[in-house]
Structure 1
C-alpha cells in the first residue's frame, strides 16, 4: 500500500505555503491601508486636526506679533514715551503731580 497523505499535506500542496503567506501579507497591508493610522478611514480626522492646528497657529502668530510690537516699543535705545508712561502707571501705581484721578463706576 502507498503512503497516506496527511490532512496538512492536502491543505498545503507543494509551493502553496508561500502563496498563502504572500496572500496573508497582502491582506494585512490592504487592511492597514484602509483602517490604519494613516489609512483612508483616518483621512478625515487628519484633515480636521490640520484645520485646528492652522487656526491655532494663526492665533499664536497674532499674539507673537503683538508681543514683538510691545518689545519694539519698549526698546531701551528708543522707547516709546506713551508706552513707558502707560506701563509705569499700571505696574507701579504712580501719577504725575498735576494729574487728577477720577474713578468711574462700572
Structure 2
C-alpha cells in the first residue's frame, strides 16, 4: 500500500510542472508558428511592401484629385477645366471639335 501512495504522491507533484511545461510549449509554438510568429515575419514584410506600394499609388491619385478640385474652386476656377467638364457632361461638342481629356 505504501508503494501505491508514493506513486500517487509523485504523480500529484509532477502534475503542476507538467501542466506548466505543456502551456509553455503551446505558447512557445504559437510564438514561432503562429500568424504573428517568427516564421511569419517574411510574409508580414511582403504584405507591408505591397501595402506601401498601394498607399503610394492612392496618395498619387489623391494628389491628382486634389489638383482637379483646386482647379474647380468657384472663387478662381480654371476656364479650361470648366469648359472640359461642361462639354463632357452636357455632350455639347461641335462636329469639328475634338475634346482632349486629362490623364486618369
Partner of 1:101: 96
Query: Structure 2 length normalisation: TM-score?
Result: 0.79
- Count the aligned residue pairs: 98
Partner of 1:87: 85
1:1-106 aligned within 5 A: 2-5=1-4, 9=8, 12=11, 15-95=13-93, 101=96
RMSD: 2.4
| Structure ranking higher on relative contact order (CA contacts 8 Å, 6+ apart) | 2
How far off its partner does 1:40 sit? 1.2
Structure 1's consecutive aligned runs of 4 or more residues displaced over 2 angstroms after TM superposition are 8-11
Higher helix share: 2
**Structure 1, residues 27-75: CA drift from partner, whole Å, max 9, x if none?**
1111011101110111111111111110111111011111111011001
Query: Structure 1 length normalisation: TM-score?
Result: 0.78
* Rg larger in structure: 1
Show structure 2 runs of 5+ residues with no match.
Answer: 99-104
